[in-house]
Amino acid sequence: MDEIEKGFEKIKEKIDQLADLQEKGKTLSEKVQSNDAKLLERMADSAKPVVKTIGLNLLMKGKQDTKGELYHPQYYPQKMIILGKTDPAPCRPDNPSMQVIDQFCVLSEEGEFFELMYSFDGFLTDSYLNPVTARQAIDLYGYDTMFMLYQALHDYLEGEEELISALEKVIGYVFARKN
């Protein structure tokens, strides 16, 4: 066998290896996508102490004066972090006559996902906290929810380097495949 044939055989081996890797990548991609909601749920469970530390008490309702300033504000008792925003729904599920002006995906300190929908009638800013599943959060708000939660975990979980490293690889893979 001459050098050209040996080189050709090596190229064929490399092509076969590449095809195997591409097939494995496709299988892994499908596996990650089919389990993305489970991953988000587990991330939310890991983020509970983070939300308690960095979360905000978000506005439940408040009155607005003529200058646009809020007075008599009321806040949700549990802390939350915002994971995403979407175009507002036409109306709130609890009251179809109320138009939604802002809509966010939030994670509570209990590790639960919600849609936070704000309405404004010219005087009162009011909200509705709509519980959603991890699957619904991804479907409605996209993978931004996963990325934002990863960022919170990355920035605030000390001593969990192995978990953060594994999440970084999965999140990087998910975002690379989505673009």
Question: Which residue's structure tokens are 């549990």?
Answer: 78
pLDDT for position 52: 92
Same domain (yes/no): 42, 119: yes
With contact defined as beta carbons under 8 Å apart, do 76 and 62 qualify? Answer: no
Same domain (yes/no): 72, 27: no
pLDDT for position 155: 77
- Average pLDDT per 10 consecutive residues for the chain, totaling 179 residues: 64 65 59 79 91 92 85 93 94 93 96 95 90 95 88 74 75 63
pLDDT for position 179: 44
Same domain (yes/no): 25, 54: no
pLDDT for position 28: 53
Which residue segment(s) compose the domain that 105 sits in? 36-178
Look at the chain and report how many structural domains it folds into: 2
> Is the pTM higher than 0.85?
no
Same domain (yes/no): 154, 164: yes
pLDDT for position 84: 94
Same domain (yes/no): 7, 21: yes
Nearest residue to 105 (alpha-carbon basis) of 78, 67, 134, 79: 134
Sort residue 53 into left (φ over 0), alpha (ψ -120 to 50) or beta.
Answer: alpha
Tokens at residue 145, please?
A: 């929810």
Same domain (yes/no): 46, 126: yes
DSSP class of residue 2? -
pLDDT for position 93: 93
Sort residue 22 into left (φ over 0), alpha (ψ -120 to 50) or beta.
Answer: alpha
